């Protein structure tokens, strides 16, 4: 069985981050190395959603934690039973040694109780009265199954057993026996000649032992008196011993304060619950509350961390919050090497190209695997997005060569597709200031300063003017909330190849001095600036270090 590995881009995912995760998972699956699952750490941007819809590709699921959950364990299949089965059958299951507890479920597969080995053994030790079968609403089928009995007469309706269990082992006249029986009794009898007397006593069930049968005449008496009759090969002693074991398991199962786990429960939750109880195994249910297996302490001891591959980032604060809970096995990136720590050697591929999707495309070609039209399409979109269709200074000849090759597989014209994608992705209609400051955002540590840098691409910069004041207020509130020093929002006009910087917080004057003059809107003019990574971050670093 292949190991599962999760592949993720950074928080506030852009198109390159999303598409690279999907494409690399596809490559890993086709190579047969892992069961690769692409995930994302935030909402899809307008642009990413357009790309996925355009090529008909399913978006990755959001994953908020790398902590192990019950669903990540190779837990046991578990044994589920119906509440009506006899405890004898439950005991037989325990005797096979496969489990120490049985999960009792209803017709919908939802858990209604747990029958443990101790529940069953306790039932053997209890001194029960002789009316237990009636109180437990024991079905006659249970009695037939446990005694391996043959039906002689059952009637149209299943009998009920309001009376006692008794062994008829005495003789005498009808007069002598009239006070022996009570209404609804279950009578166990061997090979006798006075069955007619017994059948006329308003009993509910006659159990014949040692394979005894009845004559047609006596069977007619049973029918007239509506008494069910069955015959078992067991002798009278064994029959009387087995009869109490026909009660349904619902009579002895635990129904209160049930301890069971959901597949999305973290192992921390499981450990705490197990520490407060002494059961050997516990049921596991899925999101619909249906039982899917059982988990024990052994599974916790033998569990390993989730495996994780990072694409399009290698900074700790840009990755999933509890990244220490995962085992990083690979990093594929086109950014600077930052502060990710690993517990063991990893495969790290970083290239100075314009897009992580360029590297993923190279890896397809190197492996001799041709991507599908859909995968080639989303790789093209990621390269176009991150290089701004080669307008970004991060663009390399490798990006151009790979886009040309992948666009032929995808069957698209890069220029025409870029126009559609950018128009769909940069429209600001209906967007609030909060939407913009929660969008494509990354945090950086520069010297002693914590700086939040966002970027908004638009082909209609004038759409930002009405919400500029609100943007400043929300940016100030965000860095105050996060304990950060500066928020820089880069407003990029793609086709005019220029940006404006909206700066809130510390280092405003230093940043203005580094970039240039103010605009009438109070933003800092940044002619020719398109790339956050290659143009904005180096200048911010220089400004803050000099301050």
DSSP-assigned letters across all residues of 383-414: HHHHHTTTTSTT--HHHHHHHHHHHHHHT--H
Q: Can you give the pLDDT at residue 2?
A: 83
Q: How far apart are CA 151 and CA 148, in angstroms?
A: 10
Spatial CB neighbours of 319, under 8 Å, sequence gap ≥ 6: 8, 10, 11, 41, 310, 313, 340
Q: How far apart are CA 178 and CA 483, in angstroms?
A: 91
Q: How far apart are CA 128 and CA 526, in angstroms?
A: 89
**Token digits for 346?**
């990893």
Q: How far apart are CA 540 and CA 449, in angstroms?
A: 11
Task: Specify the DSSP element, H or E, that contains 463.
Answer: none
Spatial CB neighbours of 446, under 8 Å, sequence gap ≥ 6: 540, 541, 544, 545
Task: Specify the DSSP element, H or E, that contains 264.
Answer: none
Task: For residue 288, give Cα distances in angstroms to 62, 109, 110, 446.
Answer: 20, 9, 8, 47
- Ramachandran angles phi, psi of 3, nearest 5°: -75, 150
Dihedral class, residue 335 (left if φ above 0, else alpha if ψ from -120 to 50, else beta): beta
Contact 378, 371 (CB under 8 A): no
Instruction: Looking at 320-467, list the stretches that DSSP marks H as alpha helix, in order from N- to C-terminal side.
Output: 356-367, 373-387, 397-410, 414-426, 433-437
Q: How far apart are CA 525 and CA 536, in angstroms?
A: 12
> Within a 10 A sphere around the Cβ of 257, how many other Cβ atoms?
6
Q: How far apart are CA 75 and CA 296, in angstroms?
A: 8
**Token digits for 464?**
């930002």
Q: How far apart are CA 378 and CA 382, in angstroms?
A: 6
Side by side, the strands of the sheet bearing 441-446 are 441-446, 449-458, 486-493, 498-505, 524-527
Q: How far apart are CA 373 and CA 113, in angstroms?
A: 51
Dihedral class, residue 536 (left if φ above 0, else alpha if ψ from -120 to 50, else beta): alpha
Spatial CB neighbours of 438, under 8 Å, sequence gap ≥ 6: 12
Dihedral sign, Cα of residue 84, residue 86, residue 89, residue 90: positive
- State the residue for tokens 């908004």: 456
Dihedral class, residue 390 (left if φ above 0, else alpha if ψ from -120 to 50, else beta): left
Q: How far apart are CA 109 and CA 291, in angstroms?
A: 6
Of 417, 420, 439, give the one whose Cα is nearest residue 428. 439
Of 397, 396, 393, give the one whose Cα is nearest residue 534. 393
**Token digits for 474?**
């929300």
Beta strands (DSSP E) in 220-272 are 228-231, 261-262
- Ramachandran angles phi, psi of 25, nearest 5°: -65, -40
**3-state secondary structure string across 30-82:** HHCCCEEEEEECCCCCHHHHHHHHHHCCCCCEECCCCCCEHHHCCCECCCEEC
Q: Can you give the pLDDT at residue 114?
A: 86
pLDDT tens series, the chain, 547 aa: 688 999 999 998 999 999 999 999 999 999 998 999 999 999 999 899 999 999 999 999 999 888 888 888 888 787 888 999 998 988 888 887 667 778 888 888 888 888 887 777 777 666 567 888 888 899 999 999 999 999 999 987 888 899 999 998 876 666 666 678 888 999 999 888 788 888 888 899 999 999 999 999 999 999 999 999 999 999 999 999 999 899 999 888 888 888 889 988 888 888 888 888 877 788 888 888 888 888 888 788 766 888 999 999 998 888 998 888 889 999 999 998 887 778 889 999 999 999 999 999 999 999 999 999 999 999 999 999 999 899 888 899 999 999 999 999 999 999 999 989 988 888 777 788 888 888 888 999 999 999 999 998 887 767 778 888 899 999 999 999 999 999 999 988 877 788 999 999 999 999 999 998 888 878 899 998 988 988 999 999 999 998 7
Model pTM score: 0.62
Beta strands (DSSP E) in 449-497 are 449-458, 486-493
Torsion from C-alpha of 504, 510, 515, 517, nearest 10 degrees: 80
> Within a 10 A sphere around the Cβ of 78, how many other Cβ atoms?
19
- State the residue for tokens 């069910």: 228
**Token digits for 254?**
């635990």
């Amino acid at each position: 069985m292949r190991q599962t590995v999760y592949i993720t881009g950074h928080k506030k995912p852009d198109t390159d981050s999303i598409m690279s995760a999907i494409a690399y998972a596809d490559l890993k699956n086709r190579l047969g190395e892992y069961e690769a699952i692409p995930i994302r750490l935030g909402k899809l941007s307008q642009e990413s959603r357009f790309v996925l819809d355009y090529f008909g590709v399913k978006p990755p699921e959001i994953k908020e934690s790398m902590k192990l959950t019950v669903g990540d364990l190779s837990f046991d299949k578990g044994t589920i039973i119906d509440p009506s089965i006899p405890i004898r059958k439950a005991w037989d299951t325990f005797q096979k040694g496969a489990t120490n507890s049985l999960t009792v479920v209803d017709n919908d597969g939802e858990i209604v109780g747990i029958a443990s080995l101790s529940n069953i053994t306790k039932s053997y030790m209890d001194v029960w009265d002789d009316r237990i079968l009636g109180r437990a609403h024991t079905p006659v089928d249970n009695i037939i199954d446990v005694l391996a009995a043959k039906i002689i007469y059952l009637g149209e309706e299943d009998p009920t057993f309001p009376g006692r269990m008794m062994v008829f082992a005495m003789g005498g006249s009808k007069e002598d026996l009239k006070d022996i029986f009570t209404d609804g009794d279950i009578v166990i009898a061997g090979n006798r000649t006075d069955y007619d007397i017994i059948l006329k006593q308003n009993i509910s069930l006659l159990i014949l032992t040692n394979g005894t049968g009845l004559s047609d005449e006596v069977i007619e008496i049973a029918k007239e008196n509506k008494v069910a009759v069955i015959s078992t090969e067991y002798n009278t002693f064994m029959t009387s011993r087995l009869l109490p074991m026909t009660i349904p398991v619902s009579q002895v199962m635990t129904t209160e304060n049930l301890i069971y786990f959901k597949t999305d429960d973290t192992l921390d939750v499981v450990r705490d619950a197990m520490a407060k109880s002494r059961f050997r195994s516990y049921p596991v249910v899925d999101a619909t509350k249906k039982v899917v297996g059982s988990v024990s302490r052994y599974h916790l001891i033998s569990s390993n961390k989730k495996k994780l591959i990072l694409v399009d980032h290698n900074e700790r604060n840009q990755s999933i919050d509890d990244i220490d809970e995962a085992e990083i096995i690979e990093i594929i990136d086109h950014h600077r090497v930052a502060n990710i720590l690993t517990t063991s050697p990893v495969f790290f591929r970083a290239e100075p190209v314009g897009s992580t999707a360029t590297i993923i495309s190279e890896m397809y070609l190197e492996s001799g695997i041709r991507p599908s039209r859909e995968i080639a399409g989303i790789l093209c979109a990621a390269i176009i997005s991150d290089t701004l269709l080669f307008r970004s200074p991060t663009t390399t000849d490798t990006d151009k060569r790979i886009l040309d090759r992948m666009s032929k597989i995808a069957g698209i014209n890069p220029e025409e597709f870029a126009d559609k994608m950018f128009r769909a992705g940069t429209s600001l209609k209906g967007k609030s200031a909060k939407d913009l400051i929660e969008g494509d955002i990354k945090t950086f540590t520069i010297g002693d300063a914590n700086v939040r840098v966002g970027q908004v691409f638009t082909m209609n910069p004038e759409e930002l003017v009405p919400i500029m004041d609100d943007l400043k207020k929300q940016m100030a509130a965000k860095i105050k909330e996060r304990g950060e020093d500066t928020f820089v929002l880069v407003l990029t006009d793609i086709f005019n190849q220029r940006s404006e910087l909206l700066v809130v917080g510390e280092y405003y004057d230093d940043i203005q001095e580094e970039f240039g003059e103010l605009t009438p809107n109070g933003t800092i003019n940044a002619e020719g600036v398109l790339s956050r990574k290659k143009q904005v971050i180096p200048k911010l670093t220089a400004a803050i270090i000099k301050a």
